[in-house]
Amino acid sequence: MTARVRLNSVLLPLLVFGMLVMQLIDPSKVWQAMVAAFGGAWLLGWLWACSLRDHMRLTREVRFAWAQVGDRLEEQFTLTNDGLVPATWVEVIDHSTLPDYSAARAIGIGNQDSITWHTTGVCTQRGVYTLGGTTLHSSDPLGIFNVEVYQPESATLMVLPPVIPLPLVEITPGGWLGDGRPRPNSPEQTVNALTVHEYQHGEALRQIHWPTSARRNALYTRVMDGSPANDWWIVLDADANAQAGHGWESTLELGVILTTSLTDRGLRARHSVGLLANGEQPVWLKPKQNDENHRLQIMRALATLKPGNLPLSDLLARAGSTLGHRTSLIIITPSVNSEWLTSLTSLMWRGISPTILLVDPSSFGSTNRADALAEVLAQMGIPRFILDRSLLLQPEARPGWRGQWEWRIMPTGKAVSIRPPGDMAWRKLG
């Protein structure tokens, strides 16, 4: 923290100095009175400003360390003045970088007093932002001295892209039957049973292995062979030359949301998920299973992703040697240029199974359409899905539940909370 007192104008000191000179040249009670009045005001203003500098502090607290697009942010401010003089006005200047959010405020506070207030805002853009620091501006009542207290305490807020349901998108599995690990509760089971184990509460009755159960006089269920043990490599095309639309309503934002949603789906299904993106800062995260640190790495990379200049064809060519065999390759792109299909074909020869998600640029105002490229992919036997701007209009694309209560009105007219706004604990910045 840095605090300082600064003189607003040198006029008053010059007047006092001039009056002292006149008193020495031509002594008079008039000059004495004026020196006492103006000098006293100067001294009083300085003491007043020093008191505010040393005793005025602001505490900022926030409830969430991360949020999704559409969530509400809430901060609590506590301004304290434990000095002997009041602050007739205090300007609170907020240095936060969160778009469309400002905690700036003008307020007054008495001596030995404390004031608390709250500010709210909506997280409108994905990214990693800073809440704080804060500068307090004030002065003495006569405005002779200016007081500035800068408090650098800050917190990092990560605004994540939303996760939306994609029921129509099916990912082509890589690998072959028998490559998978045994998964008793996997939603993607095959018809091959590897072994049995004792029945556990909640398991499906259709999985009971009756011959073993009869032989051992206890219920036993089959442990099914998991689906092919393939990695998911998600490739997000962030080439600036292929994008359409602006801001929130753009092919890049839809691509980020699709990548976030597929990452969440893949990790929940116990796939190892990796991410490639040709953004301004290239993203290259190798596949890992549902590890929380890996999930946060992917989400942070997507939250901060900006368009780059590397074409998709070059990205696929460079990535080919690291993708490995029996891999599911999920390409999300708005590009209608077929040049990148050459690089994709060479990957398919190595046993990589592609799934293409075409973000239709025509739905974002572009003259280019994805239909022609989709027909080429169909002729090549490559699974493809055309997705358009309508996905951004889904309620899930702007979730907005964090920081907001959800209520249900009972038949009696009583309002009952059915969902609190997440973690309600306040955390100090710094």
Maximum pairwise Cα distance, the chain: 123
What count of residues does the chain have?
430
Contacts of 216 (CB under 8 A, 6+ apart): none
H or E stretch at 374: helix 371-379
Query: In angstroms, rounded to a whole number, what is the distance separating the alpha carbons of residues 327 and 321?
Result: 12
Provide the pLDDT for residue 340: 93
- In the chain the domains, ranked by start, together with CATH numbers, are 1-162 (2.60.40.10), 189-226 (no CATH), 234-397 (3.40.50.410)
Per-residue pLDDT of the chain (430 residues; tens, 9 = 90+): 899 999 988 888 888 788 888 878 888 888 888 888 888 888 899 999 999 999 999 999 987 667 888 888 889 999 999 999 999 999 999 999 998 888 899 999 999 999 999 998 888 889 989 998 899 999 999 889 999 999 999 988 888 888 888 878 888 886 543 444 444 444 444 444 456 677 776 677 777 878 888 877 888 787 654 444 468 999 999 999 999 998 888 999 999 999 999 999 998 888 889 999 999 999 999 998 777 889 989 999 999 999 999 999 999 998 887 887 778 899 999 999 889 999 999 888 888 889 999 999 999 988 889 999 999 999 999 999 999 988 888 777 766 544 444 545 555 444 444 555 555 566 677 6
Model pLDDT, residue 374:
92
> What burial letters (b/e) apply to 40-70, b meaning 16+ CB within 10 Å?
ebbeebeebbbbbbebbbbbbbbbbebbbbb
Helix (H) or strand (E) holding 116: strand 113-122
| Residue closest to 96 by CA, chosen among 151, 173, 164 | 151
Using CA atoms, how far residue 404 sits from 98, 161, 245, in Å, is 19, 18, 30
DSSP H/E element including 35: helix 29-55
Q: Quote the pLDDT of residue 180.
A: 43
Q: What's the pLDDT at 414?
A: 47
What span, in angstroms and rounded, lies between the C-alpha atoms of 272 and 290? 7
